[in-house]
Every structure is written in C-alpha cells, then in structure tokens.
Amino acid sequence: MTEPNDTNAGERPSSNAADNAEVQTLLHEKAKLEEQLQRTLADAQNMRRRAQKEAEDARRRILEGFTQELLPVLDNFQLALQAWDGQTAGADPAALVQGVRMVLTLLRSALERHGLQEINANDQPFDPARHEAVAVETKQGVDEGRVLKVLMPGYLMTDRVLRHAKVVVSGKPMSAG
C-alpha cells in the first residue's frame, strides 16, 4: 500500500516544482513589465515637462522679440512728451501731433508684421462676425444693413477677430405707430 502512495507522493513534488517554476517565471515577467511600465510613464512625464518648457521658452522668445519691436515706439512717445514738456510757451501743437502720428505709424507697422489687420468696415454690409452695431440710423439712398460709420476699428489676427468693429448701421426708418 505504500507503493501507490509513493507514486502519488513522487508525482506531487514534480508537479509542484513545475508549478513553482511557472509561478516564478510569471512573477519575473510581471516584474519586468512593471519596470517597463514605470520607465514608459517616466519617459512620458519627461516628454510632457520638456514640451511644456519648450512652449514656455518659445512664448518668451516671441514676447521678447515683439517687445524689442515696440521699444522704438516707447522711446518716441517719451521723446515727444519730453519735447512738449520742455516747451511751455510758444509750443507748436502741430509738431506734437506729427510726432504722435509717426509713433502711431511705427506701432501699426510693428503690429502688422505680427499679423494684425484692421477690419475694413466702412460702407460694407454689416457682418455680425466682424462688426458690432452700436446704433442704427436711416440714410436716404443707402441700403439697409450697410455700415455707415466706424466708431471704433476692429482687428483681426490672421483670420480670428480680436475685437469687433463698433459701427453705426443703416436701417429702416421707424414708423410712427
């Protein structure tokens, strides 16, 4: 009777040894996969940090470049004010106006180089995507829905509206009712 038990006993240990070896192999594979996952997660986090730093650096460089273009505008405003402050009696307002116009030209050209465009609104059909009607007036000979006056210009950056043009639009006369 001990013989059959010895056979069973002999099979179990070899079966247990195979199971233990398989478990060890699976645990080793699991550990390798976990390590691989941790490395991949760390790489992804490093890539996000690097991309964020590169975006911040690019923004800073763009802002620095744009600011450098605006420095002459700032300088000319200061020069105009200094010239005006230095002349109390007999100051020529036309010279100040001319200086301010020059500064405006410098500022506009710097902004245009960066994609800013003024919205052409005067005598155009009213477009709510680009215009903000602040008043409606009736004008003989002008079709309804046309821009009569631009009160404040609007601006585009490439194709995106930064500020709608504030306009007066032609409309129907109000009937007394």
What are the pLDDT digits (tens) for 65-93? 889 988 998 888 888 777 777 665 566 77
Q: Which domains does the chain have, with CATH numbers?
A: 117-177 (2.30.22.10)
Residue 1: pLDDT band (50, 70, 90) is very low
Looking at residue 69, its amino acid is: E
**Statement: residue 172 has pLDDT above 60:** yes
Mean pLDDT, residues 34-48: 96
